[in-house]
């Protein structure tokens, strides 16, 4: 999905796009799954912060890998 996103927005500010993409995924996952399983899980605020920082690390790795491995097709001028 991130590569598809990069295909349309180009590679400018790839690190910022990686962080934004990862945090949107974090909000979607935490917002949907936490509501459904809140009774079974007893999450403290530290647990939520750990998942937040894990997604930040994921976003940096995602942007690095996409920047190194993905080459955008050239567009005619």
The Cβ of residue 40 has, within 10 Å, a number of other Cβ atoms equal to 6
Q: How far apart are CA 24 and CA 30, in angstroms?
A: 10
What are the tokens at 32? 């949907």
In a domain? residue 24: yes
The range of the structural domain enclosing residue 52 comes to: 6-67
* pLDDT bucket at 8, cuts 50 / 70 / 90: confident
Q: What is the pLDDT of residues 24-54, one digit of tens each?
A: 888 888 878 777 776 777 778 888 889 889 9
Residue 5 has pLDDT above 60, yes or no: yes
What is the total count of domains within the chain? 1
In a domain? residue 35: yes
Q: How far apart are CA 14 and CA 20, in angstroms?
A: 10
């Amino acid at each position: 999905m991130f590569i598809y996103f990069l295909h349309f927005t180009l590679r400018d500010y790839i690190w910022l796009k990686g962080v934004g993409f990862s945090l949107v995924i974090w909000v979607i996952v935490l917002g949907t799954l936490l509501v459904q399983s809140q009774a079974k899980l007893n999450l403290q605020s530290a647990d939520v912060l750990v998942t937040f920082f894990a997604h930040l690390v994921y976003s940096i790795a995602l942007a690095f890998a996409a920047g190194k491995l993905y080459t955008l097709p050239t567009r005619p001028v």
